[in-house]
Structure 1
């Protein structure tokens, strides 16, 4: 039985980065990946990279077919690059297999026929198996030939004229905006009363209106009851009536991939099926770690990267980094225009007892909007009136996905809002909006 210093299960961001880092420090590493299509992880192959490539393609006037070709080229190149980044490293062995725990240190390598081909041993084992789409229990869902998850919808060979999206979360809205950009008639079915319920009310209202102006129909309080294929279309039956589609996207959440025979080692799961971990990302078995989406929490590749930093520091460094000291996590919803956020909204800050000041700037008051030919959007920021520390920001508008990182950096460093207000920025840029946004 071959023994490694570290066995990594899953080729995602945290796992692959830890594997490479450990190998360069002289550690022997095994990387186990169930599917060659997933070299590099979810983000590169079926997540943010392909979806954002398609979004960018829609903005540069490529048609649907051209966009799909461009997406495939990008994904294939990155998949190949990620494979060789590890496989060509002398201290790393890459195994194409499904992993199953036998003991706390032993992992069986299972082939496509569900046969154990080999067993390897790891002094440390890192679980990085990600998450997969939740498939709801809806009549007809298992037999319909026009149903796709977020992976399958990006493999379509032709553009649907009518797309119905079941679910109204961030992934649903990103795909709604994307397909509407290509001219598809899009209907979003949300079972709750509203979408974007976690966002600032003013900004959520603008974003919803912009989606509607783009042609996206958002139907709330719509419980999907059945899906029925006809000869040339599919009918989606809901509590709000029937909707006709050429394709249906299921965007009803994601669940951790934990089919690893965890019972054999006593690893515990949480209420949502996630692997329970401590602040150092150790499971109930101290030498087994869980990183990325499989451990629950925000499902972003940069969170996975920070998980790598925590585990790497714990194994190879001083052990000072934890999930408790990494601070606020920014995010962007890549609708059109993008909606980005970090920290607290005004309502949340006041609920926590802060005395606040709030800055508010419509994008149509930023000079750069004339060059962008895009006046849509609203920037808002919340600060502590007593300490001048920035508590949060929600930026809805062009280039917000870049700007939010500047505000996050200021928050992380304890920079007061007046520093951003009084800085000199190049012109004409969206960043110079901070001169006015922080004038509070």
Structure 2
């Protein structure tokens, strides 16, 4: 049994950052990762970064049509293959960079293998290299095993060559001519958007009538109408009942309130959300409490019900974002290094949300719907259409809106943005909300020109 100060299970954003920080602080650390291809976590390998690469280059492809170049499925297919090549190259580099970060830290031992709890403070690692098992112990253990795609129990899905989840579809070698996306959540919409940009005929099937149900109704409708104009087909109140592989396509049996029908697709993406990855961790051998949704229960300091054992990132449930995992690292680091900063979930700063469609959607703080639900009186919205912004005309990106929510004290409490740079400027608005800036302060600020944010002078 080898003893450590800290054992970290999972090499994601929070886990690797914490391991490096603790190692540099002279703590003896063990980090365990079962999949070499996941060193660095979901974000750099099969999540945020590779998908945003496709998003970016699909936008570039669309932009060429504004200069008179012909865009079609055939030209999109070539652009897609070049993007795939770029994606594979930079993901490999980042994966290696993340490995080297900890490999050069003399206080961090790396174990490539599967971790399993034997008891509260004992972990067994089944090593990938030689299948030998080693036992480790520590008074502090961090669980950062992330999340996995939710599987749907649809006939034929498990055996189909054409049915994919988010991890798999990133590596499709050729651009599908027809794609079915099952699920209209944020992840599904991002994939639907970039495939459509490259020229794929995309259909999104949603089992109910929901589309961005947490947003203000008029905002959701604006975004849905925009995506439809881009050629994305939406089938609401529609369920997939069966997948049947043909020679080069998959036949999908679908049904809605009025009919049952079959349609052929080159690929299917099942995007039904993600669930915490707690399977096969041996948590049943511990006193660690796991909730019904598979998430590990934690307090405001991310400690489980077992002293010294923490859960960070997706595995604890809640918003599943890389930047949440990074902030989780800060909370746990403060606890283990006793910095007395008292960082915790209760005093966490505002968390922005981005959806990388075309144009981007981003939000931070409250929208009008949420303000009403909280019974906040006197709240009002100021909306600026993107088409009224000079910079939007410069780059010929006129679609979208920019909606600011103020309380009765005229303080900014939220923004909903649907514009070319929404994902960037949302962070500026987050700071404005955090600093309780007022309508007049925001309106009369000096912004440079020509930029998107100068729209605020026109509030």
Same fold (TM over 0.5): yes
Q: Which moved more, 1:59-68 or 1:125-134?
A: 59-68
Equivalent residue number for residue 31 of structure 1: 31
Secondary structure at the counterpart of residue 324 of structure 1: helix
Does residue 13 of structure 1 match 2:13? yes
Equivalent residue number for residue 151 of structure 2: 135
Equivalent residue number for residue 359 of structure 2: 337
TM-score (norm 1): 0.97
Report Cα offsets for 1:395-419 as digits up to 9, x if no partner: 0011001111011011122222322
Give, in whole Å, the separation in 2 of the partners of 1:79 and 1:382: 40
Equivalent residue number for residue 75 of structure 2: none
Compute the displacement of 1:390 (Å). Answer: 1.4
- Asked if the contact 1:361/1:379 (under 8 Å) is kept, the reply is yes
Q: Which moved more, 1:135-144 or 1:412-421?
A: 412-421
Report Cα offsets for 1:157-195 as digits up to 9, x if no partner: 111110001111000000000000110010000001131
Listed as ranges, the matches of 1:401-440 within 5 Å are 401-436=423-458, 439=459
Of the candidates 375, 379, 393, which is equivalent to residue 353 of structure 1? 375
Of the candidates 211, 235, 240, which is equivalent to residue 227 of structure 2? 211
Does residue 52 of structure 1 match 2:75? no
Secondary structure at the counterpart of residue 289 of structure 1: strand
Listed as ranges, the matches of 1:37-436 within 5 Å are 37-61=37-61, 63-112=79-128, 117-240=133-256, 241-258=261-278, 259-316=280-337, 317-318=339-340, 320-354=342-376, 355-386=378-409, 388-436=410-458
Give, in whole Å, the separation in 2 of the partners of 1:163 and 1:347: 33
Stretches of structure 2 lacking an aligned partner (at least 5 in a row): 62-77
Give, in whole Å, the separation in 2 of the partners of 1:315 and 1:301: 21
Compute the displacement of 1:120 (Å). Answer: 1.2
Secondary structure at the counterpart of residue 227 of structure 2: helix
Equivalent residue number for residue 73 of structure 2: none
Compute the displacement of 1:59 (Å). Answer: 2.0
Give, in whole Å, the separation in 1 of the partners of 2:237 and 2:132: 48
- Asked if the contact 1:163/1:185 (under 8 Å) is kept, the reply is yes
Give, in whole Å, the separation in 2 of the partners of 1:435 and 1:121: 59
Aligned-residue CA RMSD (Å): 1.4
TM-score (norm 2): 0.93
Compute the displacement of 1:116 (Å). Answer: 5.0
Compute the displacement of 1:115 (Å). Answer: 5.1
- Asked if the contact 2:112/2:128 (under 8 Å) is kept, the reply is no
Stretches of structure 1 lacking an aligned partner (at least 5 in a row): none
- Asked if the contact 1:349/1:391 (under 8 Å) is kept, the reply is no
> CA 1:109 to 1:350, structure 2 compared with 1: closer, same or farther past 3 Å?
same
- Asked if the contact 2:127/2:134 (under 8 Å) is kept, the reply is no
Report Cα offsets for 1:122-173 as digits up to 9, x if no partner: 2210000000001111011111110111010000111111000111100000
Secondary structure at the counterpart of residue 116 of structure 2: strand
Give, in whole Å, the separation in 2 of the partners of 1:230 and 1:174: 27
Report Cα offsets for 1:36-66 as digits up to 9, x if no partner: 1011001010000000011112122370100
Compute the displacement of 1:350 (Å). Answer: 2.4
Query: After the TM superposition, which segments of 4 or more aligned residues of structure 1 sit over 6 Å from their partners?
Result: none
Give, in whole Å, the separation in 2 of the partners of 1:214 and 1:432: 28
Number of residues of Structure 1 aligned to a counterpart in Structure 2:
436
- Asked if the contact 1:99/1:107 (under 8 Å) is kept, the reply is yes
Compute the displacement of 1:17 (Å). Answer: 0.7
Report Cα offsets for 1:370-412 as digits up to 9, x if no partner: 11201100111111122x2211110001100111101101112
Compute the displacement of 1:211 (Å). Answer: 1.0
Equivalent residue number for residue 2 of structure 1: 2
- Asked if the contact 2:215/2:369 (under 8 Å) is kept, the reply is no
Secondary structure at the counterpart of residue 310 of structure 2: strand
Give, in whole Å, the separation in 1 of the partners of 2:104 and 2:438: 46
